[in-house]
Amino acid sequence: MSRFELDLAFARGDLELTWQLASDCAWLGLFGASGRGKTTALELLLGWLRPDRGSARLDGAPVGVGHIGYAPQDLLLLPHWTVAQNLDAAREAAPEPLPEALEAALLLALELEPLLARQASALSGGEGRRVTLARAVLAAARTGLLVLDEPLASLDRGRRQLVLGFLLDLADWRRTSGGGPAVVVSHSAIDLMVLCDEVQVLETVVTADGTRRSRFLPPGVPAEVLAEEGGYENLLVGKVERVFGDAASFALPGGAEITIPGRDLEAGDRVVLGLRGDDVLVATEDPGAVSARNVLEGRVATATARGAYVALGIDLAGVSRGSGDGTARLVIETHVTEGALRDLDLELGRRVLLLFKTRSIAILARR
């Protein structure tokens, strides 16, 4: 883990930005809508902009000091060089090489092999962004600070899943090998929750005179943000155990399994799943034969009123998230009306069964 110590204030034109954080994490995510100041925050972090007050430190040193692999939204390539030459320069600048298997996975996910002989100036905008991303990953390798500004924004759905799957593998390798930290900016809270240990949301208020006052909230993604993202309140990361027909079994932490859509999947694939709270039903008795393939036992852990419904957090009995201290639990969020809450007597600690269909599960990323 790395220690981020940020206390920054910055004002230019119609933007006022404040950023505070004291956290031990390996991958830090920054979330906010376009135009709210996320790229400005990165430039402050890297020391490219001077803050009006405060400093940004990583493990006790200024963040901009040391080895960095940076993929901005603009292209960061030498235009008169080929793609291969740009990537070679990144490899040479790295403190150590990326493992061959990871580099091969990087080139495959970004589909760069057909581009290697082309000059950077001849690339399209999307192709250039992919090369810029690869260049940053190669330059940071294991120990450098990796900074990614909207790394998935210009990718189509299929390629986005492949690249997100690669970044998951890269994050796992850097964490387990004692590698350097990463900072990832995105307007997708889901991508950041999948990739990062902590996520900070950038909140912006426009005053009467047009000034944008932006500040990063403490780490955590509010429920209303997830609702705006498509409602995937439940995110699960794991491996496909086996495939049978058009379905597959997915192992939850702790050993339980659920059935997920299996088209195009293979045993051993790593996948990221999304499940909306609205798609999870609650029963207090065994429902018998039902069309829903997934039935999980748990207990009501939390109940939070959210306007027209109540969000229940169901702690899955005997399923540990494996956070290191053994105390964290895998909690599934589901939504019920106040009438259902009352009629089913869903008080805290009540044993319940969760039911959801296979088709309710979305595959957000796969390796």
Name residue 12's amino acid: R
What are the tens digits of pLDDT across the range 303-360?
999 888 999 999 986 544 443 444 346 889 999 999 999 999 999 999 999 999 999 9
Percentage of residues of the chain with pLDDT beyond 70: 94
Phi, psi of 182, rounded to the nearest 5 degrees: -140, 150
Cα 259 from Cα 241, distance rounded (Å): 10
In this predicted structure, which of 20-24, 142-146, 183-187, 314-318 has the lowest mean pLDDT? 314-318
Do 257 and 251 touch, CB atoms closer than 8 A? yes
Region 126-134: mean pLDDT is 94
Distance between CA atoms of 93 and 280, rounded to whole angstroms? 49
| Three-state secondary structure readout of 222-269 | CHHHHHHCCCCCEEEEEEEEEEECCEEEEECCCCCEEEEECCCCCCCC
User: Sorting pLDDT into bands at 50, 70 and 90, what band is 32?
Assistant: confident
Q: Which residues, 6 or more positions from 297, have their beta carbon under 8 angstroms from its beta carbon?
A: 316, 317, 351, 352, 353, 354
Q: Measuring CA to CA, which residue among 343, 262, 349 is closest to residue 299?
A: 349
DSSP SS3 for 140: helix
Q: Domain 2-228: which CATH class?
A: alpha beta
Region(s) of the chain under CATH 3.40.50.300: 2-228
Bridge partners for 70 per DSSP: 147
Q: Which amino acid is at 141?
A: A
Q: Where are the beta strands (DSSP E) in the chain?
A: 2-12, 15-25, 27-31, 53-58, 61-62, 68-71, 145-149, 182-186, 198-206, 212-216, 234-244, 247-251, 257-261, 270-275, 281-283, 294-306, 309-320, 329-336, 351-356, 362-366
Under the banding of pLDDT at 50, 70 and 90, the label for residue 215 is very high
Mean pLDDT of 293-308: 92
Phi/psi at 283 (5° precision):
-130, 150
pLDDT of residue 321: 40
Among residues 153, 138, 172, 2, the alpha carbon closest in space to that of 70 is found at 138
Fold of 234-366: OB fold (Dihydrolipoamide Acetyltransferase, E2P) (2.40.50)
Tokens of 365: 């990323």
Q: Is 26 helix (H, G, I), strand (E, B) or coil?
A: coil
The pLDDT assigned to 307 comes to 87
Buried b / exposed e along 177-214 (16+ C-beta atoms within 10 A): eebbbbbbbbbbbbbbbbbbbbbbbbebeeeeeeebbb
Question: CB neighbours (10 Å) of residue 165?
Answer: 21
Separation CA 98–CA 91 (nearest Å): 8
| Conformation bin of residue 273: beta by default, left when phi > 0, alpha when psi is -120 to 50 | beta
Phi and psi at residue 293, to the nearest 5°? -80, -15
Start and end residues for every CATH 2.40.50.100 domain found in the chain: 234-366
Q: What is the DSSP string of 71-130?
A: E-SS--S-TTSBHHHHHHHHHHHSSSPPPHHHHHHHHHHTT-GGGTTSBGGGS-HHHHHH
Separation between Cα atoms, residue 200 and residue 298, nearest integer Å? 30
What is the per-residue pLDDT across 85-108, written as a single tens digit (0 to 9) for each? 999 999 999 989 999 999 999 999
